Structure 1
Amino acid sequence: MSQIRNPHHLSNSSYYQSQSPHVESKTTTTGSFAVVRGSVPTKVNMGQTNYSTAATKMVIVDESPSGLQTKMTNYIGFFRKKCQEEAEKKRQEVNSRDTMYRFYSKDTDKIKRLATPGYVGVDPTIVYYKKYKNLDKEMERDPNGYSASTAYISQIKSLKVLPSPIGLISPEHRGKEGTIRANNMKMGNTYALALSNSMKHLSNTIAVDIPGNRLGKKGGEAILGSLVDRVRTINVDNNKIGPDGMVNLVRWIDNLNQNCQLEELSLEGNMIGDQFCVELMECLIRTLPPVRDLNISRNNIGDRGACSLAEFISTHYYLKTLKVSWNKIKSKGGIAIAEALKENMRVVVFDGSFNLFGQKRNGEFGQKMGDACNKGILRHVDISYNSMDKNECQKFGEVIYNNHTVWGLHIMGNDCVLDSLGFVRTTIKNKIQTRDILHSPLREGNNFLNSIHKARNAKIMSYQMCWICEGWSELKFEWKVGKSGSTSKEPVYIHFDFDEYRPWLMDKDDDNGSFVLWKMIPPGKTHYFYSFGGEGGYGDAAKDQHHIKLQNIKHVREIKFTEIDGETQKQVEYYNNYELRSINYAIGAQAKILDHEYEPVKLKVMKPRLYDKIYTRPVNKRPRTPWTFPISIFKDYQIENDTKINECFEYDWAQMKFPKLTDDEMNGVKEELRKAYKTIKEAYKYLSSIGSNGSVFSILLNCYTDFVKQIGIHDGKIINATTSDTEFLSINKRTKPSNLNPGLALVRFQLMEILMRLAFKRYDESKFHFYFITVLAKEATSKPEAVRLMHEKNLLPYYGELNPQKWREERYWNEEVDNIYKSHFPIFDKIYKQFGCHYLKPGDKPFMMVDEFENIFISSGLLNDNFVGRDCYISFNAAMITQVDELNKDRHLKAQFVEFLEAFGRACDKMSLAPPLDEAVSLQLFYQLFQTDEPPMSDAERMEQPLCKKIENVLPIIYANCMTNGFKEKWKWPTRDPDTGLFKDKYCKLILQLNHITVKKKKKETTRGDIGDLLDESPDKERGIFDL
């Protein structure tokens, strides 16, 4: 018999089939036998392991018919037995450390099926075992420096532990940055020593991520002692390394100093304690690495470590995310951290849940944490389960009431709840017990839909009300009258199931005939319905929106409503019950709230804590009385009419001196001057304000000369400077000076007289020169015509537009200006009495002189290049009521209160201030007073403002610079009526009441005409309208 090939391939796996020799076949002829020899696989089952042998089957061709089959059968049985004995011998040689044989004996397909995501894969695992088997050859090949995998395998052998092909050290680390990641592999300290030995050979490692690996002090020391310089991320969460095992971390940071590139440091669950926390923070403050994310949760840290952490927060520039949950930090440490967050201005995510921040329960932590949210750029905050009582929560909620920057807030486990708009509610009790809540760390983009498998879980998640963690989305809800339903009875509310069907007031859109509300809703299916009519109303579903018809009537009971009674302005609470036959639903998509830079994505309308609307019940008010002049504060102003103008003209005409004129000429000149008198009078008021002599209004020579040139009478030919000045001096010479008619100045009748004389010279006289040839012929045929030409050609083009009455009717006498004066009456009354009345004599009524009026604006700092002292005189004189006799009476110089108000309005119209007002009032004060953020206006926009707005803009400056401290303590700025837009004139009502008060004093009754008279007789200078 020919030789038989011994079987030496003991595996039928695809890997070793590729290495086995081809089946060979030979034919041998011996005598009468023809023998065919070939390799025939034979499968041997030994327990749970399958061994395959390549036995050789002998096919004997019996050329003679006797006994060949029996011999062949015996041979095959013998060969199979021999193969089994050989396999058993191999199996006995295998011990517990020969993992290589076990791997070879497994099926490769089974390895692939059992491959764990995150491991390197099957092929590198095979390479690992090859290296383990051929370790001696690897060491001979590289005697000086081992590779990382060789170092790991060598340490494994020296420690005499089973080789674990976890795939941490792989060829992928060669030549590029790599990550050492072993999440929850529970490797223990022994394998950690082997891993640390290989980490020294990985100089390009940038991340060490080994949480949940049962590391203790030795393992932590080994891992942290093998960090290379380029590491940027360290995550050793949920090990028990302790403070002693963390020493190498501080040393590593200190050794690198400013070259340390550490960006993410996570030490959660390592019980480092206060002392190491202090050491770590001091190290980070010394070296200032660019740490963006810091997690020291579950580390038994108290107030001492928290205060050290607060110092690091306030000095560190790069920090973005801070997590200190599940520690023992009390109020002292919590307040220190909150103050540091307020100063930092860079931390966007803060997790301080499961501590004792609110232990003192005095509202201090709530105040400090609220300030940190408002002053910093925090986007995501978790202060759940911090022993915050109702007082702490209420204080925190009040501080962040107008905050629109914190997009995700967790406050469960305290004495409050968070509603779906982000408001902290202390009046609503949390219906989910603490035992129902499982702590989940802050995160973004949570797969909310996949996390809800039961209705109960969905309810718990919805109570967290975090837009970021749950990925809430923005949606518009609209009740269209006629399409959604026929009901339009106000108020209209919408109720959502995730809010326990709390009512949300909808805004009325009059243009489209609908009620609208924008809302953030959680991912998944949300049920909602509408309610109408308020107390005793009913609920319904919108027909034009997705809705479900319910088989059984749904009862929604005890829904609490809060409204404001329009008459008493007090809150009213009531409860409604609803029976629904159908209900609407909406599908919320999971949305991303913050981008990778922690900036909020742009939504159409919604922001956190955007609105908190409460319906105000309408009051059956009587119709407003239409505004008219007789009920205004201007009612005492004597309106100038034709009769008053004619009286003034007759008085001035009687004071004039005339050249020789015939009776007809005299009458004609008088009538022409009567027609021109209104223009002359207004021109005199303006010119006497510019060139006044002290407190007496008159026209000085310089102003007169400019006036004559301006209107064109001074032509340099017929009338020159000498001619006009001669007339000025001659008129002053004929009149005796007095207190009201100063010398070398023109008063009202003198201006009319000099214009008459200049008109005669300019238009009614001819000049002759050589040989009686007429060089300049006269333009007028008579004296009256000369006056008419002077009026039409010289006065009207320049002073015809002066019309104080037109300004009053178009800009001043209206309801808005009247409302400003009435609602701020105490300020104007105080100014009038404080700056005026210095020239009062016994028995005189209060009045104000022009120099006193100017002092108001000097004291307020309002005089500048745009508004000078001359403008004060012009405003004051234009506001004075026309007086007939200005030569013997000084009434035209003394402004009564109603005249003072007009003068003030004219001055404000000239200034045309706009916010920000002036350096005298800070922008912050202006925003506080007027609750506006309007940008500064252009010059054209300032001038076009209504007069009431201009007066309103000046008042804060007057208030800040002219009012006494006693006045400021009592004064409250009036508020506007939301319906009319006017200020609420409570002071005006008091004025009307005082107009009918009769006061008995010294057994004599005196009727008080205005509130100013009553205030004057008060011996206390600080006594004012507040005491009445």
Structure 2
Amino acid sequence: MEDIQITTVESETGRKLGKYSMRSMALPKISIAKQLPYLSGLDDVSMPKRYNRQYYKIQQPTKEKDLINDKEVFASLTYNNEEPYEDRKPKELVGEDAYRSYYHTFKNIKRILEQNQFENIQNSVQTNLVQRSERLRILPCKMGLIKLKGDRNSLSIQNQKFGDKYVEMLSEGLRILPAIQDFNFNHNRIKEHGASQLMPLISKQARKIEFQTNMIGEKGLDSILKILPIQQCKIQVLNLEDNNLGDQLIIELCKAMSKNLSVETLNISKNKITNNAHQSLKQLIESNDTLLELYLRWNSIKGSGGVEIFKALQANKNIKVLDFSYNLLGCGNVIAPALKDFIIENKSIQHLDLSANSFTFSDCTIISEALKQNHSIYGFHFRGNFGFVDSKGFLIIDSSMKNFNSIHIEQRIKGVMPHPKPYDHASRFEKVKDICWICDRWQMATFEWIPNKSGACSEEPIFIHFDYEGYEPIFLGKPDGHGHFRTHRMIPTGDIEYFYTANSIQVASQSVPIKQHIEKFRTKVSIADQVVNVLIDETNIESYPKSKPVIEDWYPNFDVLPRTQDPIYIPAKRKKQKRIWTYPISIWAPKYKFDTEELLRKCFERDWQCCKISKFVKKQEEQDQVKDMLWQAYKPMRETYRFYASVNPTGDVFSMSVNPTSDFVNQCQLIDQKQLKLADVDLKFIATCSASSIDYKGNYRNPERSLVRYQMMEFLVRVSDDKYIRFNPQINIVQATKMMLEQCMPHMSQFDSHKWRAERYFVEQCDDVCKKYKWVFDYVYMRNSSRKVKPGQAPFMCLDELKDICNRANLYDENFVERDVNLAFNLSTLTQIDELESDRLFQMQWIEFMEAIARIADKYSPIAIGKKEEKEWTYELRSQQPLYYKLEAFMVHLINTLVDEETKKNWKQPTISMFDEVEEDEYY
């Protein structure tokens, strides 16, 4: 037998495999005869019995092992702890397990039904649904009873259009679910048969029944009519909208509701209710003390029936929400007195919808006047009639507003819950209309003007202008005890833009965020019967995210009452001589920035950094002394440079070319033909220009053949070296610079542009002219500030545009030339620290444009208004006039030459100067 023991098996490839190798176990079955050498060639069938006995011994362990496995499987089946009866197990109705349980029931419904019948087990919800679907031969459906998420105490299958057969299947599932209290069957094609099966199952335990857009009929309504009058009724919300109930069933419903003690919301809209049911509705309103919301929209109740209903509502103290839209209350012209009394006397209604009721213009006017006396209706809807609701809740009557196309964008009221429509910021110049504080979720905000913090103005009147109000002025009233001007208002959510009018100037408050407008816009501002066209370049902006609702638990969350009238500004009479004018209340104060010592020091340090004085003044001690002397003379030196740089600018770049530089040297009497000649000056001019050519090569703000600001002091130091040291070596550069500055100072001290501002421009009379004609400044600037503006860049006026204005105004003559325009432009621009890396120097802003116009007017010198016939006006006499006379006449000239006819149609040509007008008394 030793020969029979096989230790290896050879594979097809010749590789030997172990006896217990996995590959050896996977080999095809090989008979013993083929494996044994001495049995080769014999078939298994003809094998002797002694060999079969040997084969049995080999296979016996395998059979015993299989038997043990079979016993284990049998034991596991015998002692299985799993419940064999499906409907005895608790089954979830919400979640993924509920879905799996439903599909398992669907697949094993026959076995489950047999188990339930044999063991007398009550069917589960899943079993009832599947069983009924098979009997009705319809596709199985979970019917909202089995769901992935949600409240197991609510059932919502709206907009499914199931129909009566599926409702019958649903009824089977509801028979064993008494815990469900909230039902929503809206838009499901449920007719009388289906409703009659469903209503008895839900009416006793239901708190909320939504049955909108079905056809429940008399049988479907019967169960509700029976449960409503009894004390055990739990229904709080009953929605039967669009069920075609008609007058008779509504009358029966009103009778049942008259005795009800639980229903808070009743919706019987769109049920073909006419005046035949108005007495029942009146009785319901008078007798029911629990009803809070009543919806009667899309019915046919006319004026005579509405009169009785509103008489009942007049004394009602529990109804908070009333929807009477899309009826015929205006028919018959009898409703207005009843509506007026209701609106004035009723103090409980908070949300009212009277849209599209065919009111006459007279009816709308009466309703508007009545609303002014009501401060409890926080949300009022009036679309489809004459007028609109403004931001304060007033009904503004407009004879052209009865447009039914506007009401196609439907906004239904739903209790006091907000469901806002989007606020369109694009309509910046139009008032937002048809406002409902409740639906649009407006909120209260406080806006405050604090003198010397928000701005310089501290005296009334101060107005605020909101974008959603079309920037109409709102008077802030009298200041409080601290001198602050304040208003509390209801505003829409989102970003709100606004500005103030203080001292007749439109400004943004400095105490809240400011938005700079890249594209300036114009708007008309009407203050005290004066219409002013203003240009807005900056506004305040604040963001108001969604806050708490206006009404919560039937109590308002905010202190602002609807239809609260804003204070009205009535100009007071004041004595003229008692008016005290100061610069902080002027038109220039908010935006004009003076040259401070700190600003000039930064300019000087930047110029010193750029110049090349250190290249030829080697000693550090001498450098420091020269720098200190130049700083002492920096202000007049810079003013002188600005004047001479305006004579012949290089394109838009103001710079001193050779001729203006020579003129400056001559005026300072530096050339004596001995120590310094004009040729020497030209050499120093070239040396100064060349010294920085490498560092700023290609920078168009630093022309190669002209001096810019930082090179002015370098040029003076170079000339001092040539004039004083070349022929007298004992003098050092410090002494030479000092002598040069002393020589030039008498001439340089003449060019103080701030002196002109202080003595002639920044005065009360010019302020009055600028305020009066601000709309002209705005008009001209807005239309001439785009030529060199790049996309996305803020508007600015370039030099060419200012020249074009003067040309179109026909200003050029023998006394006024292009050089005067250059000078006005350059002297009016605010000081910039870095003139080499910024184009701001060439970009005139609005406040600078105003000064440039004043400088042009001063040079042009028009004759004062109304004084042309007094004398023969020579240019010398015209020049001697005060600037404010010139500026006033110049503004009139700009109106006549530059302003279009449409803009100036409301403007009257003055015949006398505003400074020569004679008042009737000393007051104004």
TM-score normalised over the length of structure 1: 0.44
Instruction: Point out the structure with max Rg over C-alpha.
Output: 1
As a proportion of its length, which structure holds more strand?
Answer: 1
Q: Which has the higher contact order (CA 8 A, sep 6+)?
A: 2
